[in-house]
């Protein structure tokens, strides 16, 4: 889909009317394959117009969680209140919300120094320490992961949709699907129990959902679409995989992981066994998802997908064979 056609699907005029602006001007895009958010300008300020995936229940849950975290003094941004008193509006099958554009910088893997890792661990420990979230009606981790049979069915269906497309994409999707099937079967045989829900977890905690200040502190944490009740090690392992560990798990990335784990352990308990089970559950979660496969069916001309597919094949294969050794090395 071209940028012009994509922009036509964003209701800029309706957003202007909903929030009381005479005009909203498009600046650019924010987010990656997982989300398409528009950077916009109105009334002399910059905003992010976010499109949500999911129904009104999910949107309401995100708003309640954001309000809870803000009330605890954590660095989050609430959606703006529209003229009818709501924090979102509905248009053409999607929910949208307008957020003031946060300050701070997104740092990619390799750009995280000791201070960034320490402050990311501090914020995560604060999220995990929040109590009184029973009224949020959050799902738990085991509710969102399908059975082995259903996971394989979804993966194969997504793979079939790409089969008639570009040869390079199709080949990589086939390799990734076969690898996921193999890993899921292995985990099923060995047994991977769902993490016991013990805290509020972010669900997608990594460097590109954090905005850092120049002093290394976290200015804002973003994206609560995956928030749920789960085990704290789920967030820790997600951060390790996406923010610290490289494709080849080299010594520099392992040291980055050790730095993050050391900082988190100064605040909350985290054992080596927690990391092992965290990696195993992460594999179960990742291999059950057909996210990239579906993206490939939608965006066959996206060259960035090839790199992401190759990265996931290497990462899943390495984690499946060496997650115990990696957990021990980080500890």
Which residues, other chains included, contact 108 with Cβ-Cβ below 8 Å and sequence gap of 6+?
Answer: 207, 208
Name the band, by pLDDT with cuts 50, 70 and 90, for residue 1: very low
d(CA 36, CA 52): 9
What is the pLDDT, as a whole number, of residue 240?
96
- How high does pLDDT run on average in the chain? 87
**Which of 153-157, 248-252, 301-305, 320-324 bottoms out in mean pLDDT, i.e. has the lowest?**
301-305
Q: Tell me the whole-structure pTM to 2 decimals.
A: 0.90
Provide the token pair at 114: 């000791």
Residue 81 has pLDDT above 50, yes or no: yes
For the chain, domains (ranges, CATH) are: 3-100 (3.30.200.20), 114-330 (3.90.1200.10)
Name the band, by pLDDT with cuts 50, 70 and 90, for residue 2: very low
What is the pLDDT, as a whole number, of residue 268?
95
d(CA 271, CA 128): 16
**Which of 189-198, 210-219, 295-304 bottoms out in mean pLDDT, i.e. has the lowest?**
295-304
Name the band, by pLDDT with cuts 50, 70 and 90, for residue 45: very high
Residue 61 has pLDDT above 50, yes or no: yes
| DSSP annotation string for 14-37 | HHHHHHT-S--EEEEEES-SS--E
Check if the beta carbon of residue 24 is closer than 8 Å to that of residue 41: yes
What is the pLDDT, as a whole number, of residue 161?
78
pLDDT digits (tens, 9 = 90+) for 204-239: 999 999 999 999 999 999 999 889 988 999 999 999
- Per-residue pLDDT, averaged over 254-275, amounts to 95
- List b or e across 235-264, with b for residues whose CB sees 16 or more CB atoms inside 10 angstroms: bbbbbbbbbbbeeebeeebbebbbbbbbbb
Residue 60 has pLDDT above 70, yes or no: yes
What is the pLDDT, as a whole number, of residue 163?
67
Residue 197 has pLDDT above 80, yes or no: no
217 phi and psi angles, rounded to 5 deg: -80, 155
Highest mean pLDDT among 88-92, 132-136, 232-236, 301-305: 232-236
Which residues, other chains included, contact 174 with Cβ-Cβ below 8 Å and sequence gap of 6+?
Answer: 159, 163
Give the bridge partners for 282, in sequence order: none
Residue 300 has pLDDT above 60, yes or no: no
């Amino acid at each position: 889909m071209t940028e012009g056609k994509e922009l036509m699907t964003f209701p800029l005029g309706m957003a202007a009317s909903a929030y009381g602006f005479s005009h909203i001007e498009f600046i650019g895009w924010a987010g990656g394959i997982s989300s398409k958010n528009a950077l916009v300008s109105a009334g002399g300020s910059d905003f992010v117009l976010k499109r949500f995936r999911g129904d009104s229940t999910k949107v309401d849950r995100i708003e309640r969680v954001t309000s809870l975290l803000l009330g605890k003094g954590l660095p989050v941004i609430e959606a703006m209140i529209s003229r009818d008193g709501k924090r979102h509006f509905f248009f053409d099958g999607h929910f949208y919300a307008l957020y003031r554009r946060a300050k701070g910088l997104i740092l990619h893997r390799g750009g995280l120094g000791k201070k960034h890792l320490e402050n990311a661990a501090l914020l995560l420990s604060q999220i995990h320490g929040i109590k009184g979230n029973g009224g949020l009606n959050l799902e738990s981790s085991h509710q969102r992961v399908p059975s082995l049979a259903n996971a394989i069915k979804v993966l194969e269906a997504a793979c079939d949709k790409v089969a008639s497309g570009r040869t390079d994409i199709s080949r990589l999707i086939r390799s990734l699907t076969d690898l996921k099937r193999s890993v899921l079967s292995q985990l099923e045989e060995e047994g991977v129990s769902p993490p016991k829900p013990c805290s509020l977890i972010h669900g997608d905690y990594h460097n590109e959902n954090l905005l850092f200040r120049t002093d290394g502190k976290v200015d804002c944490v973003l994206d609560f679409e995956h928030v749920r009740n789960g085990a704290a090690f789920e967030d820790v392992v997600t951060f390790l995989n996406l923010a610290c560990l490289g494709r080849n798990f080299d010594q520099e990335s392992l040291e980055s992981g050790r730095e993050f784990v050391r900082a988190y352990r100064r605040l909350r308990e985290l054992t080596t066994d927690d990391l092992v089970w965290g990696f195993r559950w992460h594999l179960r979660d990742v291999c059950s998802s057909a996210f990239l496969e579906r993206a490939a069916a939608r965006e066959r001309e996206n060259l960035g997908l090839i790199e992401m597919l190759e990265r996931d094949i290497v990462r899943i294969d390495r984690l499946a064979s060496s997650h115990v050794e990696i957990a021990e090395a980080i500890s």
